[in-house]
Structure 1
Amino acid sequence: MPARDPQNGRETGAISQPKPGQQEDAATFGAFVRKPGARRVAAGASAADNEEPAGGIEPVEQLPEDAVEVGFIADAYGLKGWVKVMPHANGKSGGDAMLAVKRWWLVKNRDRKSARCMQSKVHSDSIVARLAGCDDRDAALALKGHTVHIARSDFPKLDDEDEFYWVDLIGMEVENEAGVALGRVADMIDNGAHSILRIEYPGATKDGEPVTGERLIPFVGVYVKTVDRAAKRIIVDWHADY
């Protein structure tokens, strides 16, 4: 079930680190993995429908309960109010949520805003977007540093049951085919070829001090046998002493 993304380009085996603008304990969101042997290229741009979205950027008290952080605004883009967004996964390989969803939530410290995305497209390793009510470069610069959130319920529908958004895999319990518990998915890593499950499990030092152990299991069909969404469990062909 190799990766398709938005990929984050981390090196194989690297401990995942948050990107600028991403909370330290936040997972990489928005990307998805799919069954072996298939890669799909994301749409290059997403524009508003024939109707012009109403409303501009407005303050809100809180975000939707299923809001997922997908990137952060790094800079203004051009002179007409476009913003440059660095996705927490590589927009060039996907960024489906930001390219498809028209309602964004922007957060910076205690500042929360609702924004309508009028148009978005891939630009190099980033995504550039035009937001309603953001009409010039100064307005775009004022949004610099805000994280971008999208409701999970608004994410584009995946093609089939063998595709999974990373955010849905985070927190799943992992066990092998012999029923041995291997830990819980703490994060996903992408090495450019496929996704990797980063699994954490309780361990101990030689002195008996508790520590958190880590396993890295490629998310490919030869190792990953079953993903049970309802039970939030992943079955893998992997020994505990690997």
Structure 2
Amino acid sequence: MSTRDPQNGHDGAVSQPKPGQEEKAATFGAFARKPGARRVAADVSSAKQEQVIESVEALPEDAVEVGYIADGYGLKGWVKIVPHSNGKSGGDALLTAKRWWLTKGRERKSARCMQSKVHADTIVARLGGCEDRNASEALKGYTVHIARVDFPKLDDEDEFYWVDLIGLNVENEAGVALGHVADMIDNGAHSILRIEYPSTDKDGKPVTGERLIPFVGVYVKTVDRAAKRIVVDWDADY
């Protein structure tokens, strides 16, 4: 399996080991095309699209934060975006989605992405209505959101975006409920499920307990998004 993390801009993926692979090869780490792949979004500058950055009242319900605008780039209005999770999350979506939503404080804007490409560990892009350095620098500090529906399709049924795992219920193979996925963590080697569950402290007061389960094949057995359930090989006492 592989996971991608769009929640809070994270993006990760997991894949079961192929026949003949060692178990350690089945890491469920951040899944995204590396900068070296040099994917470039299609240039749609000739398309008859509204080339303005306009204010909007709200973002789409499935909007996912994938990065932030760090600075202007060049003199022709391009912006430099830092994808979340060291460029390993949201990068593909930034290269393929044609509609971006920008937020800063209470401001909400909609922008047409005319062209984008990988630049070192960042993404640089040209937005409709952003024509010069002054305009691009005015967008510094805005976070970038992309609709989940516009994320690229994953190549394998055992790959998942992190945002699709958040909120799923987790149980072990004995059917014991372990809680729900509250967040995903990338420790550099693989992804980790951060699971929360109701518990009590030493005084009997209700508290939120936490479990950390590596998102690797040896522990994660099935992910059923339709049933909103993940089955793991993990004892409730761990």
- Using structure 2 for the length normalisation, give the TM-score: 0.84
Secondary structure of 1:227's aligned partner: strand
Matched, 1:99 2:91: no
Please give the alpha-carbon distance, in whole angstroms, between the structure 2 residues aligned to 1:219 and 1:77. 37
Aligned length: 222
Matched, 1:128 2:108: no
Please give the alpha-carbon distance, in whole angstroms, between the structure 2 residues aligned to 1:58 and 1:93. 26
Please give the alpha-carbon distance, in whole angstroms, between the structure 1 residues aligned to 2:5 and 2:162. 10
Residue range with higher mean Cα deviation, 56-65 or 28-37 = 28-37
From 201, 220, 229, the equivalent of 2:225 is: 229
Please give the alpha-carbon distance, in whole angstroms, between the structure 2 residues aligned to 1:86 and 1:192. 18
From 37, 42, 49, the equivalent of 1:48 is: 42
Amino acid at match of 1:46: V
**Alignment-derived partner of residue 144 in structure 1:** 140
Residue 213 of structure 1 and its aligned partner are, at CA, apart by: 1.4
Deviations 1:141-177, CA, capped at 9 Å, x for gaps: 1111211111111111111210111100000000000
Amino acid at match of 2:39: A
CA contact (8 A) 2:40 2:118 kept: no
Identity of aligned residues (%): 73
Amino acid at match of 2:86: N
Distance 1:49 1:123, change over 3 A: closer
**Alignment-derived partner of residue 11 in structure 1:** none
Unmatched segments (≥5 aa) in structure 1: 8-26
- The Cα RMSD (Å) is 2.2
**Alignment-derived partner of residue 193 in structure 1:** 189
Amino acid at match of 2:33: V
Unmatched segments (≥5 aa) in structure 2: 17-24
Amino acid at match of 2:38: G
CA contact (8 A) 1:205 1:211 kept: yes
- Using structure 1 for the length normalisation, give the TM-score: 0.83
Matched, 1:175 2:181: no
